[in-house]
Structure 1
Amino acid sequence: MIFQELTIENFRQFYGKKTIKFAADKTKNVTVIHGFNGSGKTTVLNVFTWLFYGEFSQDFENPEYLETEAAFFQLKPGEHLVTSAKLIFDDKGRKYTAYRRIVIGKDRAGKRWIQEPEKLTLKYIDETGEVREPGNPQDSLEQLLPKPLYPFFFFNGERIEKLARPEAYEQIESGVKVLLDIEVFDRAITHLDGQVAKEFREEIAKNAGDEGMKVRQERQVIENNKTTIEAEIDQFRRNLKALHDEKDTLDSKLGEMPELAQWQAERTAKEKELESTRQQLKETRSSLARELSKHGYLVLVPDVLTKAKKILEAAHKKGELPIPMKRQFVSELLEKGECICGRELIAGEHFFNCVSEWRERVGSEELESAVSVTKAKLESLFNRRETVLQEIAKTQHKRGEFHQKIRRLEEELSELSSKIGNREYGEDRAKLEARRREIETDVINLTVEIDRKAKVSDDLEQQLREKDQEIKKLGMTI
């Protein structure tokens, strides 16, 4: 989807018609909209969400009044004005025009009324050059940019941390399925894995006698428990999203108080820094776990390595290693009947027997090779162990730094909260901040509870798989 041109008419700060032409060149394809606070950047964001979905961001106040106040003030009784947004964009080779508008009138008494409710139209030019208009423009737009995905394209940069929240994952998953047209496959899989599989299990259980019915009943109990747990998790996630949304609203209200703007901005920055530090700590823990998983045995077996090295060194001092001569060489001397000094070796005589004893004392080439490899490996293992210990020490040091930074940021945030919520400077701000603290506590409690119930759900899922295996075995014996 490539934006070409956006036209705004009598929408909040934008009096009359205003047009933004987007950079669409292949080498110059970034459009920057810059402005001071209150100049309309968030309004432009909400123009897009209203045009596409008829919705607004959480910090967009009084969404029922979209028209420009100055334009309405200038209306004479009986007149009306149009508030609208029109976007021209390209998608997959087609040029689209999306247009949403609402007509506001002023009655004889000078009061505001909705003369025409908001309406969306969508037109595009097809491959033949004909202008087409889908029967359901909203569905067509949501096929181009699914509604669950729009918060990841149109979002307030000051609240970007919302994109990393756990409840955002489901929105991404749902939107991607719509975008890739795989919803129908997903429903088919769910159907096959649900209703069809259930009918097969029922049939097997019926034909497996009392034992089959018992397993079926046990499975049904587990499935019911899992359904209940999953419903609770879904509700908790909705509650968690509602808490985050409420917190965002409170932050917007606190940020609008002139005397709190600086503290609120400082808190927002520190919260982002805290979240980033926690993520770095998490990555450091994962790195440490990978290091220990791969090389942990080197840390735990230093005595074994040292003992092996001492054994080889002792054998070397005794002259046993390296092997002074080869067994094959001695055998050839005995077969030839002549020693390396030129003495004749006759079977049964003293010198023949002496050389024969040497053959029994020398080791095999395989042993010598194994010893050589072992010595080299030992040295390599000692070096690797030293490197691993150094890396672990560095990682542990980083962890300590992150922990200290997290504690410092938490203390600074607590201090900011006390300043913002100080009752000496106003009851309203104190109430807002007190509610914000309650929300933070509720978010922690809900997050812990969701994690606990998710583990219970995983355990129940494992029990279901085990029961399915029992039913499968019963089916094989029928």
Structure 2
Amino acid sequence: MKLISIILCNFRQFYGKSPEIKLACGEQNTTVIHGNNGAGKTALMNAFTWVLYEKFSAAFAATEQLVNKRALAEAEMGKAVACWAEIVFEHDSNHYKAYRACRAYKNENTVEYGNSELSLTVAKDDGRWMPTAQHPDDIIGRILPESLHKYFFFDGERIEQIVRYDKKAEIAEATKELLGVEVLNRSIRHLGDAKKSLETDLKIVGNAESKKLLTEQDKCELEIEKLSMRQVEIDGELASQGELKRAISGSLLELSGAGDLQKLRDELEMQKTLFKQQILQATDARKRAISLRGYGVFLLDAAA
């Protein structure tokens, strides 16, 4: 899937119909969108996921309030306000146009929102846009499955949520599905089922030698299954031990930091004690100096 352009109309911060926002392509294929907080960067990203999957990111608040507030405020009572977005994208040399729209109705005290509707058209050789023969969700799901969209449309501030350690298995499954490996795995499972069915028939119609070999094969497969289950258990134990190791390493780092702080505290306490002793010594020296030579001041007054 290669995104080409998007148009918005009364979608969140985007009042009215926006110009066609064309995305970069060719050698300079990176589009940078700059805007202040609240300008609509997150809304723009969620417009893509709304059109294609009717899904939103975690940072997208009030997902039920999609219609632009200014458009609602200017609308007449009871009149529908349309909110829609249109995406043009290319896949396998075909150009598609995905369009999703919803409507809001302003009543005296409330705003009622209707359900959204998705349509998908494809460009023909003569340049006309024609509805697809299959359901839009099915076509989009084959191009980029809904379960994978969050790995392509995400908030940059929350990218750490995607690459967390506990998400490793989920990312692996998503990658398999994207690369078509999961289809091969399902085919292998189906072949295994067909194999078992044929072996069952062979046990019934086969000769004694065949039945003996099948019995030995069943024993070997049972042993392999037990070993595989044990391997899964060991892998799980290794993963748990790895998490425990990371937790202990983190605790040790914290403790080492606490040890450094304690060492610094001890040094400061020693300096504090030393300074107190120096202050006491200076005070005693001052007292002795006053007691030994302080009378000289009065002698000077007497001599005068």
Match for residue 407 of structure 1 among 253, 271, 286: 253
CA shift, 1:86, in A, is 0.7
Residues 326-365 of structure 1 aligned to structure 2 (within 5 Å)? none
Task: State the SS of the aligned residue for 2:18.
Answer: strand
User: For residue 145 of structure 2, what is the aligned residue in structure 1?
Assistant: 146
Distance in 2 separating the partners of 1:406 and 1:30 = 43
Match for residue 131 of structure 1 among 129, 143, 156: 129
User: For residue 272 of structure 2, what is the aligned residue in structure 1?
Assistant: none
1:174 counterpart = 2:177: yes
Residues 324-473 of structure 1 aligned to structure 2 (within 5 Å)? 407=253
Asked if the contact 1:125/1:132 (under 8 Å) is kept, the reply is: yes
Asked if the contact 2:11/2:84 (under 8 Å) is kept, the reply is: yes
1:196 counterpart = 2:194: yes
For the structure 1 residues 42 and 188, does the alpha-carbon distance in structure 2 shift closer, same or farther, using more than 3 Å as the test? same
Distance in 2 separating the partners of 1:54 and 1:110 = 27
For the structure 1 residues 20 and 407, does the alpha-carbon distance in structure 2 shift closer, same or farther, using more than 3 Å as the test? farther
Distance in 1 separating the partners of 2:250 and 2:113 = 57
Asked if the contact 1:5/1:19 (under 8 Å) is kept, the reply is: no
Asked if the contact 1:10/1:17 (under 8 Å) is kept, the reply is: yes
The code of the aligned residue for 1:101 comes to A
Asked if the contact 2:96/2:123 (under 8 Å) is kept, the reply is: yes
CA shift, 1:175, in A, is 2.5
CA shift, 1:204, in A, is 5.7
CA shift, 1:187, in A, is 3.2
The code of the aligned residue for 2:29 comes to N
Structure 2 length normalisation: TM-score? 0.63
Segments of 5+ residues of structure 1 without an aligned counterpart are 234-277, 279-402, 413-478
User: For residue 14 of structure 1, what is the aligned residue in structure 2?
Assistant: 14
CA shift, 1:31, in A, is 1.2
Asked if the contact 1:10/1:16 (under 8 Å) is kept, the reply is: yes
Task: State the SS of the aligned residue for 2:29.
Answer: coil
For the structure 1 residues 404 and 153, does the alpha-carbon distance in structure 2 shift closer, same or farther, using more than 3 Å as the test? closer
For the structure 1 residues 95 and 211, does the alpha-carbon distance in structure 2 shift closer, same or farther, using more than 3 Å as the test? closer
Distance in 2 separating the partners of 1:17 and 1:409 = 58
CA shift, 1:43, in A, is 1.5
Asked if the contact 1:9/1:18 (under 8 Å) is kept, the reply is: yes
Task: State the SS of the aligned residue for 1:169.
Answer: helix
Asked if the contact 1:22/1:31 (under 8 Å) is kept, the reply is: no
Q: Give per-residue Cα distances to partners, 1:285-305, cap 9 Å, x unaligned.
A: xxxxxxxxxxxxxxxxxxxxx
User: For residue 121 of structure 1, what is the aligned residue in structure 2?
Assistant: 119
Asked if the contact 2:85/2:101 (under 8 Å) is kept, the reply is: yes
CA shift, 1:224, in A, is 9.6
Q: Give per-residue Cα distances to partners, 1:174-208, cap 9 Å, x unaligned.
A: 1222xxxx76554332200x211222443566656
CA shift, 1:46, in A, is 1.0
The code of the aligned residue for 2:150 comes to P
Q: Give per-residue Cα distances to partners, 1:330-373, cap 9 Å, x unaligned.
A: xxxxxxxxxxxxxxxxxxxxxxxxxxxxxxxxxxxxxxxxxxxx
Instruction: Tell me how many residue pairs correspond in the alignment.
Output: 234
Distance in 1 separating the partners of 2:26 and 2:71 = 38
The code of the aligned residue for 1:65 comes to Q
Distance in 1 separating the partners of 2:40 and 2:190 = 47
CA shift, 1:219, in A, is 5.5
User: For residue 110 of structure 2, what is the aligned residue in structure 1?
Assistant: 111
Distance in 2 separating the partners of 1:23 and 1:112 = 34
CA shift, 1:42, in A, is 1.6
Task: State the SS of the aligned residue for 2:28.
Answer: coil
The code of the aligned residue for 1:35 comes to G
CA shift, 1:112, in A, is 2.0
Q: Which has the higher strand share?
A: 2
The code of the aligned residue for 2:79 comes to E
Segments of 5+ residues of structure 2 without an aligned counterpart are 236-245, 259-304
The code of the aligned residue for 1:175 comes to L
User: For residue 298 of structure 2, what is the aligned residue in structure 1?
Assistant: none
Structure 1 runs, 4 residues or longer, greater than 4 Å off: 182-186, 203-227, 403-406, 408-412
The code of the aligned residue for 1:133 comes to P
Task: State the SS of the aligned residue for 1:37.
Answer: coil
Asked if the contact 1:87/1:97 (under 8 Å) is kept, the reply is: yes
User: For residue 474 of structure 1, what is the aligned residue in structure 2?
Assistant: none
Distance in 2 separating the partners of 1:152 and 1:141 = 16
For the structure 1 residues 198 and 79, does the alpha-carbon distance in structure 2 shift closer, same or farther, using more than 3 Å as the test? same
The code of the aligned residue for 2:121 comes to K
The code of the aligned residue for 1:33 comes to I
User: For residue 156 of structure 2, what is the aligned residue in structure 1?
Assistant: 157
Asked if the contact 1:9/1:85 (under 8 Å) is kept, the reply is: yes
Task: State the SS of the aligned residue for 2:62.
Answer: coil
Task: State the SS of the aligned residue for 2:19.
Answer: strand
Distance in 2 separating the partners of 1:200 and 1:225 = 25
CA shift, 1:75, in A, is 2.6
Residues 17-28 of structure 1 aligned to structure 2 (within 5 Å)? 17-19=17-19, 21-28=21-28
- Which of 127-136 and 26-35 deviates more? 127-136
Task: State the SS of the aligned residue for 2:159.
Answer: helix
The code of the aligned residue for 2:78 comes to G
